[in-house]
Amino acid sequence: MKKLTLVFLSAGLFLSSCNMEKKAETTTEVNPFFTEWNTPMGTAPFSKIKNEHYMPAFKKALAELADEVKAIAENKEAPTFENTIAALDKRGPLLRKVSGVFYNLKSADTNDEINNIAKEVSPLMSKSEDDIWMNDALWKRVKALYEKKDDLGLNQEQANLLDKTYKGFVRSGANLGEDDKAKLRKVNEELSLNFLKFGENVLTETNAFQMFIDKKEDLAGLPESVVIGAAEAAKEAGQEGKWLFTTQKPSMIPFLQYAENRDLRKKLYDAYLNRGNNGNANDNKEVIKKIVALNIQKANLLGFETPADYLLDNRMSKKPENVFALLDKLWKPALDVAKQERKEMQQIINEEGGKFKLAAHDWWYYAEKLKVKKYNLDENMLRPYFKLENVVDGAFKVAEKLYGLKFIPRTDIEPYHKEVKVYELQEANGKHIGIFYVDYFPRASKRGGAWMNSYRKQWKPDGKEVTPIICNVCNFSKPVGDKPALLSFDEVSTLFHEFGHALHGFLSNTSYYTTSGTSVARDFVELPSQIMENWAADEQVLKMFAKHYETGEVIPDELIQKLKNAGHFNQGFATTEYLAASLLDMKYHTLKSAEGLDVEKFENETLKAYGLIPEIYSRYKSTYFQHIFTGGYSAGYYSYIWAEVLDADAFDAFKEKGIFNKELATSFRENVLSKGGTEDPMVLYKKFRGQEPSIDPLLAKRGLN
């Protein structure tokens, strides 16, 4: 009987196994990543993509990539640019397809399942990258070509791609011995997992804090639109009849600006500052220590004294001392202005009979009062003129006047979320350029901040044009009650900023994937974005899009003048908090050892040594500083101010010749936006400007001269 049972069990297991194989085959057949997307412009069919499709797609894509790389490395023919460098540039089409969707959604519309998949995929991706960069046979082919690069008859883009590829191998450990390669692989894997952990912790902490208010008197000072928005948020959270405020900036900043209840301002701001620093499962201090230690180990393995030395080696700045020189040049004038701002705000407190010293959680509140006092300008006077749809239209019109672009709404292209809108970009003659997803409102499934990314980059494999698919993702003020989304001027500037990044991706005109669009030095990539902010504040442009959402009235000259008069307002604070974060970033990445690192103590002592006043915190405290602890801007947060030197100088040229001067716009498009990473960034800048940039326009722009 037992024997018979075993036979039946075995048969059952066999049938079960067969069924699983059939199920797997079926899954493979319907997995949308394994089919051609017969959608407009090859856009992703988001509704057909399920979470269970990702892992099979990643595994197949990584296996295909491994086979492709093996074929290149083991090619019996002598290495040529085409069979080695260009072939590597084309690698992994399926992986690029899967990653383009997965990682964009992980940032913009994630869930627990996606986060768990990311943890599973991360070490596989890390291993795959290392398998390429540490492949000896492949490295020998690349090195052989590099050593005779001057005899290959390459054009500028090809020469730059060869140079990037060669340096990519060197910087990824190709010259290391086997023991050190094994160590580097381990470091890369652990870094990728810790970057993920850091970001997940910040998102969890941001979503976890909710400040419900149940007394109407605690809302004193808040504009009606903010109160209505908070009531709607509370209702969505299941607490109808109350008002909800969170550490998402569109919720937090208006509360800090207008709420008269000082204790609640402190409660909310403290919650924001302490994200990732609450001694719970989401605390990031130990994660930071691991990341810092791993970064040092990686830099040392690759022959660099500190992570900053390694990371800056292929940027415009080249060395840490060059970054510190710029930051130090700006620090004292910015801090002096901030101290004057503090003095003026304390005077208001004293005049109102307050018996307390200005604190960090008071800054927004008294800055708003000071702005009204000095310039008779209240942010709520501006918001009615900055309806989101009008601001978007304004950005599009600037691009049209500069570059002849057209933006066509595409309701036939499926978005990944109901709040996302889709546009097609065309040249003035109707030629298709690319597809643009815009996603502007905060939600629990989206990380904080604002960014541009690509689902597909522009390039020309074998001469065939591949057009870009790009997204702008932000966290702006949502529609409230019967009112549309009305933006602050800061949000207007952010929209133009991210739109500038998008134009950099869209107007790319390169042959190779590796050199396309925003694939440039980290401290050059912010030039196309930051220069767009200048148009957002220009009087001529404001009159194009700043129209009252109810009456359609164009923003009056008086209000524009007030905005212009207040242009340098609070710049001491804004510059100082930014520079503090940049300095903190550089100090972490110039550490030579992480032994005994106490994150809070290190942060406090670093900023105290620079004389940062207690009323201002670093724009990002360590435990939620995602720019530098999730891998993107490590030793690179300074890039914004570095690029601002370029953008202020570049916009001076437009002010001299006309902000819509066609000749200048064409030069900027051809020499900066279209070139991607095909040439040295300073060479590109000088081709546009005719000279190296001066820091003077930046100092004047920020009122620090």
Our CA angle for 389, 420, 51, nearest 5°, is 170
Q: How many residues belong to the chain?
A: 705
Closest CA to 634 of 276, 249, 175, 294: 294
Contacts of 39 (CB under 8 A, 6+ apart): 45, 413, 414
Determine contact, residues 654/646, Cβ cutoff 8 Å: no
Closest CA to 587 of 277, 324, 260: 324
Closest CA to 593 of 296, 208, 231, 187: 296
Contacts of 157 (CB under 8 A, 6+ apart): 510, 511, 512, 515, 678, 679
Cβ neighbour number for residue 375 with a 10 Å cutoff: 16
Quick one: DSSP state of residue 458?
A: -
Strands (E), 96-246: 211-213, 243-245
Strand order in the sheet with 469-473: 406-409, 421-426, 432-439, 469-473, 451-456
**596: its two tokens:** 């005994």
Quick one: DSSP state of residue 690?
A: S
Determine contact, residues 307/635, Cβ cutoff 8 Å: yes
Give the phi and the psi of residue 516 in degrees, each rounded to 5: -80, 145
Determine contact, residues 154/162, Cβ cutoff 8 Å: yes
Closest CA to 392 of 432, 421, 430: 421
**651: its two tokens:** 């916009």
Give the phi and the psi of residue 568 in degrees, each rounded to 5: -95, 5
* Calpha distance 415→582 (Å, rounded): 36
Contacts of 315 (CB under 8 A, 6+ apart): 521, 522, 523, 524, 636, 639
Closest CA to 639 of 532, 520, 534: 520
* Calpha distance 346→563 (Å, rounded): 23
Helices (H) and strands (E) in the chain, counts: 28, 7
Helix axes 599-609, 571-589, angle to 10 degrees: 130
**410: its two tokens:** 């595409």
* Calpha distance 15→540 (Å, rounded): 73
- Among candidate residues 498, 526, 533, 615, the one labeled active-site is 498
**Is 465 annotated in the active site?**
no
With 0-12 / 13-18 / 19 or more C-beta atoms within 10 angstroms meaning exposed / middle / buried, residue 521 is: buried
* Calpha distance 282→106 (Å, rounded): 18
Give the phi and the psi of residue 572 in degrees, each rounded to 5: -60, -50
Q: Which residues are known catalytic residues?
A: 498
